[in-house]
A and B are shown apart, each in its own frame.
Chain A
Amino acid sequence: MSTDQNLQNLQGNRACALAAIHAGCRLFAGYPITPSSEIAESMSAELPKVGGVFVQMEDEIASMGAVIGASAGGVKAMTATSGPGFSLKQEALGYAALTEIPSVIINVMRGGPSTGMPTRPAQGDIMQARWGTHGDHPTVVLVPWSVEEVFAETIRAFNLAELLRTPVIILFDEVIGHLVETVDLARFQNPQITDRKWADGKIEGFKPYRDPGDGVPMMARPGDGRRVHTTGLSHGESGFPTQNAGEVEKFMSRLLGKIAKHRDEVERIDARCCDDADVVVVAYGITARAAHRAVSMLRDQGIKAGLFRPITLWPFPESAFKAVAEHARLVLVPEMNAGQLILEVERLVSDKTTVAGLNLFYGEPITPQQIVEKAEALLSQ
């Protein structure tokens, strides 16, 4: 029996809550929804211990609103939900993106649409996470495949949210949320923490939405004497609403472009056995674990297979993916949905290679065998 206190058996949802507190989250606002509720439950127990606030709000929308409000006040905040709740949060998510108020949103994906299969896994919100709110907006979406990675990516989500001043979404599937694995917390003893770029210097003439160069404006902390205006209306550098085409164009270009300016920090991938791969399997979340196994099964049969796993799902790591996929004979995209990420994959490489999907959406995880069979069938065609 191990006596190492750092080795702990943690459930994915609980790991997420602990990691959030590690990252400096001091307010959680949520609403009960399966299969994400353990995150709220853990937070309700843990946050008061560190002087933080847990509040169960009246609905999903209010939870998102409270998170944005807290973050606007300067406190790192998070909420967690699942597909139907994620839909309800979308308007506020767009508000957070436009006003550039950092926040972290966990979506533990379950079968859908509508109430669907609340206790069953799915990966149906890939496109909702990208395009769920209205209008053009920057999006950062992370998708871990293990409990340990849940821990790491939750911390990274907070860091990215602060760095980019934008909401960051983490997609789990129900399996990852409820999976218990041993995590070595030693790795997270002294995590690297990014804090917000608070406005300093002269108060007079401060422009809350001026680009300091990296596309991410300095934020005024309420009470610092700057007294800025924050609005969901399109605004210029001053923060006040404008319909001036030039000002709006400038604002929107910066807003949409700021993620690209930090691509190196944002993009994260895991590519295995891809260098010589004839078959590249693109997978994320729990499906990637099946794909990982499938790749070694295919290798055992003499088929050069590789796994490309985007940990940052949006923005999709385009160039890294193109580099491994363009020379493959086949790109296979297994997903627990009717085909969502495959649209992006096709957009990038369908002119260079064959792209095929394996789409199962009946509430059971995809097995390695199913991926192997699909790859074999496609290769024998």
Chain B
Amino acid sequence: MSDVAQSEFNIRKYIREDLFPHFMCPGCGHGIALRALLNAVHNLGIDKNRLAIVSGIGCSGRVGAYIDANTFHTTHGRPLAFATGLKLARPDLEVIVITGDGDCLAIGGNHLIHACRRNLNITCLMLNNEVYGMTGGQVSPTTSTDRFTTTTQSGNYEPVFDACKLAEGAGAAFVGREMTLQTPALRDLIMEAIAHEGFSFVEVLSDCTEVFGRKNDMGDSMEMVLAQKSGFRSNSYGTAVDEPFKPRGMKTGVLHRSERLEYAAAYQQHHAEKSST
């Protein structure tokens, strides 16, 4: 993917300025992810009139509203279901889903695996901050072992999901992971994900500084962002059941890419064949 943009990226062209400052907490990684996404949209030359952002509920769900596009803030866990209908109805739209770890993996887990299986041309960004931030900091399916949340007051004892392995296993055509610390790499990954034909899943390692970081003494915003690199999430990603993650074992970048037939194309092809026979 080329790094050279047609024109200099001016973020103000892609946001709803009158809604700023945004509602996110100081240091929230979701803002960094938002920039990376908008930069990717710019570099790909996507017309914002043709851009549809679909989000669910939670801190991640509120991010979409700041984008100057056709934005849909739907119900908890269902943005992928909603996006499926939208994309099927309007293949001309570039549909991007912004969801969170709770929204996507817990209440919306069923929709994720089937969206991956179906392989409709949608890009799904899962902003993973390991916690339910909006509701005050409850444990999520990606909260690391031993982390404190308001519903794991003595530390988390549940195993975690590796969302990327899940997506790959379920059939997503493109799977990638990047941290907000590596914003340019994150932008490039999102560009690849959008450009890839079929269902693309991108896990963004984001930070909840105010709710999760404070509760776990993870330092200030800067320290949390830096820690993404040092592997403090080492227990979070890997084979959740048998092998705890090794420090620095967390893989980022493009994790899986395949040229499976995209759903809408498959649908067209199938019915064209059936009607001609």
Contact = CB atoms under 8 A, between A and B. Distances in A.
Q: Do A and B bind each other?
A: yes
Given A62-B84, A73-B86, A228 B78 contact: no
Contacts of B110: 58-59, 62
B246 to A, nearest CB: 34
B214 interface: no
A75 B89 contact: yes
B65 A223 contact: no
B85 A73 contact: yes
Interface in A33-82: 48-49, 53, 55, 57-59, 61-75, 77
B50 interface: yes
Interface string B73-95: 11100101111111111101100
Interface string B53-76: 010000000000100111111110
Contacts of A74: 89-90
B10 to A, nearest CB: 17
Contacts of A29: 84-85
B88 A92 contact: no
A27 B82 CA distance: 13
A354 interface: no
A184 to B, nearest CB: 29
A326 interface: no
A126 B250 CA distance: 53
Given A58-B114, A65-B85, A225-B49, A75 B90 contact: yes
Contact of B69 (A53, A75, A227): A227
Contacts of B71: 227-230
Contacts of A224: 49
Contact of B75 (A57, A58, A227, A232): A232
Nearest to B64: A229
Contact of B86 (A61, A69, A225, A232): A69
A231 interface: yes
Nearest to B274: A48
Given A53-B89, A223-B50, A224-B49, A65 B72 contact: no
B275 A66 contact: no
Contacts of B78: 61-62, 65, 92
Contacts of B85: 27, 29, 55, 65-73, 77
Contacts of B19: 240
Interface in B102-127: 110-111, 113-114
Contacts of A70: 85-86, 88-89
Contacts of A95: 74-75
B271 interface: yes
Contacts of B20: none
B35 interface: no
A224 B70 CA distance: 10
A223 B92 contact: yes
A69 B48 contact: no
Nearest to A203: B49
A240 B67 CA distance: 12
A143 B271 CA distance: 34
Most buried by A among B71, B75, B78, B82: B82
Contacts of A67: 85
A107 to B, nearest CB: 19
A26 interface: yes
A346 interface: no
B271 A48 contact: yes
B52 interface: yes
A74 B70 CA distance: 13
B125 to A, nearest CB: 17
Contact of B89 (A61, A62, A77): A77
18 contacts: A27-B85, A29-B85, A48-B267, A53-B89, A55-B88, A57-B84, A68-B74, A69-B83, A69-B86, A71-B85, A73-B93, A95-B74, A95-B75, A222-B86, A227-B68, A227-B69, A229-B65, A241-B65
Given A58-B81, A63-B81, A229-B73, 20 more contacts: A29-B84, A55-B84, A57-B81, A58-B110, A66-B85, A66-B88, A67-B85, A69-B84, A69-B85, A71-B85, A73-B90, A74-B89, A95-B75, A223-B92, A228-B71, A230-B72, A231-B65, A232-B75, A240-B19, A241-B65
A-B pairs, 10 with minimum CB distance: A69-B85, A65-B81, A66-B85, A70-B89, A75-B89, A62-B81, A69-B86, A70-B85, A231-B73, A73-B89
